[in-house]
Amino acid sequence: METAQILETIRMIEEEKLDIRTITMGISLLDCIDSDGETARKKIYNKITRLAKDLVKVGEDIEAEYGIPIINKRISVTPIALVAAATQDKDYVAFAKTLDQAAKDVGVNFIGGFSALVQKGYQYGDDILINSIPQALAETERVCSSVNIGSTRTGINMDAVRHMGYVITETAKKSDLGCAKLVVFANAVEDNPFMAGAFHGVGEADCIINVGVSGPGVVKRALEKVKGEPFDVVAETVKKTAFKITRMGQLVGQVASKRLGVHFGIVDLSLAPTPAVGDSMAHILEEMGLESVGTHGTTAALALLNDAVKKGGVMACGHVGGLSGAFIPVSEDKGMIDAVERGALNLEKLEAMTAICSVGLDMIAIPGDTPSETIAAIIADEAAIGVVNNKTTAVRIIPAQGKQVGDIVSFGGLLGYAPVMPVNKFASTDFILRGGRIPAPIHSFKN
Amino acid sequence: MKAILTVVGQDKVGIVAAVSNKLAALSVNILDISQTIMEKNFTMMMMLDLESTTDDFITIKNQMTELGNQLGLTIHIQREDIFNTMHKL
């Protein structure tokens, strides 16, 4: 082993903030289903605390032995709408509280799966779960919620889109942080390790470990060394860096799953920023030559980055999954926050960016008095991008109570802070009130 | 288990001696050493074999970190796999 390579690895971790963003244990709760809510919750609590009791300890041991920080240890579970539907309960807040308690007792900072999959229609339990979201997120600390309202195979469930517009408004009224823990998806994936959108799909094994890597700082530093070079060189540089980052994720995932005695699921090849200086996606794009993220050229720069990360990462690990791509949350990225504040980045540009990178409008603060129908229409637009382009898109948007455009909303910790961004003032009400379903796009019929 | 120990910092008399003494006290075997001056910094890599030690990894790590603090140097110890994984196909 060469000295330079050893020092490179150490520098990536120490100076460039390379880390494993999350090891997420996916746990199936299908065997906890019971017609009695209380019994079901007891089974859920017991299963989670039994399987995940060593998750945090194993994560910390790996951190110490390998010298690589593992920022989050988390849990995802089967969508609760499926589990709770067998009960006669009139709301599912008690299920959220059980998840919260289990998360606290095993020491994970988030648990995802207070979820419903309604891309084509509502089954019994879905409506109850979605109506429970505002209260559940207000009364719990660590529970994350997600709802899938569309897919390429099924089209967009516009009734659910409208419903989620109201739910987001209600959630924002009930708690400051609630909306930061709520994601509305199109083409949701079943093995996503990242919060707030993680849930454990029904096609997964009973218990698995999924890993999400990070490392925008490493990519930025690598690109600093190829200043002024053509894009061919930029793409190659990102690929090589992504390879190294992903290998780290693969190693940690394998070691963690072996020590915990569960299957290793996937590595999510994502570049995930944090509010810390030097850990920004926006700064990578600016390193490519943009004065500020959000200006013309941003979409092209992001497309190159997203593609090169995948190409480099795919060879580095056995199974790739999750969301896999570049995350562009606003509040969690210092460069994005700055771009909004200097007027370089707006919702429309963010929407364009979501067409070519992973996820969607993420951690964006909008005025607290934004009509629910407008929020629903924002969701519909994002869903359309996902459904037509055969990719995952999501909306995690925060109507900031009592705040107007330009005010700052602070979420704390990894969730960061965000300037309130303007939305289009013209109404989408009649459009949203139609309801029904937008049919699946023609190219979804591949059989 | 094999691990890699790295020592980086201002050069001075007795670094190699202090580090190897400490490792000997912990019954850690040194398999390979390379040492150089990079960008005016003392830089040393050691390949260690932890088979014969009775202390656990965390204890060794803490003791080496403490030694680093005493000497005004940065000392890391990490399992070898992390470097192999990242740099070797």
pLDDT grade for A307, boundaries at 50, 70 and 90: very high
Q: ipTM greater than 0.95, yes or no?
A: no
**pLDDT band at residue A412, thresholds of 50, 70 and 90?**
confident
Q: Is B75 within 8 Å of B64 (Cβ atoms)?
A: yes
B42/A contact by beta carbon, under 8 A = no
Distance CA A177, CA A137 (A): 8
**CB-nearest partner of A64 from B47, B58, B87:** B58
A338-380 pLDDT tens trace: 999 999 999 999 999 999 987 889 999 999 999 999 999 999 9
Question: Do A304 and A290 contact (CB within 8 A), yes or no?
Answer: no
From CA B70, how far away is CA B73, in angstroms rounded? 8
Read off the pLDDT of residues A124-153 as tens digits, 9 standing for 90 and up: 999 999 999 999 999 999 999 999 999 999
Q: A248–B85: do the CB atoms touch at under 8 Å? A: yes
**Does residue A446 surpass a pLDDT of 90?**
no
For residues B66-80, give the mean pLDDT: 93
The domain segmentation of chain B, as residue ranges, is 2-86
DSSP β-ladder status, A263-268 and B41-49: unpaired
The answer to whether the CB atoms of A9 and B76 lie below 8 A apart is no
Are B29 and B49 contacting, i.e. CB atoms less than 8 angstroms apart? yes
Q: Which fold is adopted by the domain B2-86?
A: Alpha-Beta Plaits (3.30.70)
Closest by CA to A205, choosing from A25, A5, A16, is A25
pLDDT of residue A255: 95
The verdict on a CB contact (< 8 Å) between A9 and B79 is no
d(CA A338, CA A328): 13
* Short-list A324, A423, A309, CA closest to A366: A423
| Tokens standing for residue B31 | 């398999």
pLDDT for A3 equals 84
Instruction: Nearest by CB to A9, from B8, B77, B83: name it.
Output: B83
Task: Quickly list H helices, A294-346.
Answer: 298-314, 334-341
Over residues A207-235, the mean pLDDT reads 93
- CA–CA min distance A68, chain B (Å): 9
For residue A313, count CB atoms less than 10 angstroms from its CB and return exposed for 0-12, middle for 13-18, buried for 19 or more: buried
Report the residue of chain A nearest B33, measured CA to CA: A3
**Distance, in angstroms, between A332 CA and closest chain B CA?**
27
What residues contact A18, with CB distance under 8 A and at least 6 apart? Answer: A12, A68, A214, A215, A217, A218, A245, A248
Q: What φ, ψ does residue A29 adopt, rounded to 5°?
A: -110, 10
Interface of A with B in 193-252 (CB under 8 A): 244, 247-248, 250-251
- Note the helical H segments in A175-297: 216-224, 231-260, 281-287
**B78 in reach of chain A (CB within 8 A):** yes
Name the band, by pLDDT with cuts 50, 70 and 90, for residue B89.
Answer: confident
* C-alpha–C-alpha distance, residues A128 and A276, integer Å: 39
Which among A5, A61, A251 has the least Cβ separation from residue B81? A251
Which are the contacts of A72, defined by CB distance < 8 A and separation ≥ 6?
Answer: A21, A22, A23, A24, A108, A109, A110, A195, A414
Q: Which residues of chain A lie closer than 8 angstroms to B86, CB-CB?
A: 5, 9, 244, 247-248
Res A201 pLDDT > 80: yes
Determine whether the interchain pair A1/B84 forms a contact, defined as Cβ–Cβ distance below 8 Å. Answer: yes
Contact of B22 with chain A, judged by CB distance below 8 Å, is answered with no
Give the model's pLDDT for residue A277.
79
Average predicted confidence (pLDDT) for chain A: 94
Rounded average pLDDT over A29-55: 97
Task: Residue window 48-67, chain A: list those with CB within 8 Å of chain B.
Answer: 61, 64-67
Tokens of A42: 């007891």
DSSP state letters, A354-393: HTTSSS-EEEEEEETT--HHHHHHHHHHHHHHHHHHTS-E
End-to-end CA distance of chain A: 50
Residues B15, B71 contacting (CB under 8 angstroms): yes
**Residues shown for chain B:** 89
pLDDT reported for residue B73: 93
CA distance A62 to B37: 31
Confidence of residue A298 (pLDDT cuts 50, 70, 90): very high
What pLDDT is recorded for position A344?
97
Does domain A24-211+262-276+322-334+345-446 match CATH 3.30.565.10? no
Q: Report which listed range, A34-48, A241-255, A309-323, is most confident.
A: A34-48
Q: How many CA atoms lie within 13 A of A157 on its CB side?
A: 23
Chain A residues whose CB is inside 8 A of the B42 CB are none
- Closest partner residue to B83 (CB to CB) among A5, A65, A250 is A5
Question: Predicted confidence band at B40 (pLDDT cuts at 50, 70, 90)?
Answer: confident
**pLDDT number for residue B39:** 79
Q: Which residues neighbour A264 within 8 Å (Cβ) at sequence distance 6 or greater?
A: A208, A209, A253, A254, A256, A257, A258, A318, A319
Question: pLDDT at residue A315 above 80?
Answer: yes
Position A1 pLDDT exceeds 70: no
pLDDT score for B41: 87
Alpha-carbon gap, residue A352 to A361, rounded angstroms: 10
CB pairs under 8 A between A and B: 60
**Cβ separation of B81 and A1 shorter than 8 Å?**
no
pTM for this model (two decimals): 0.93
pLDDT at residue A28 in the model: 98
Residue ranges per domain, chain A? 24-211+262-276+322-334+345-446
Q: Are the beta carbons of A167 and A179 closer than 8 angstroms? A: no
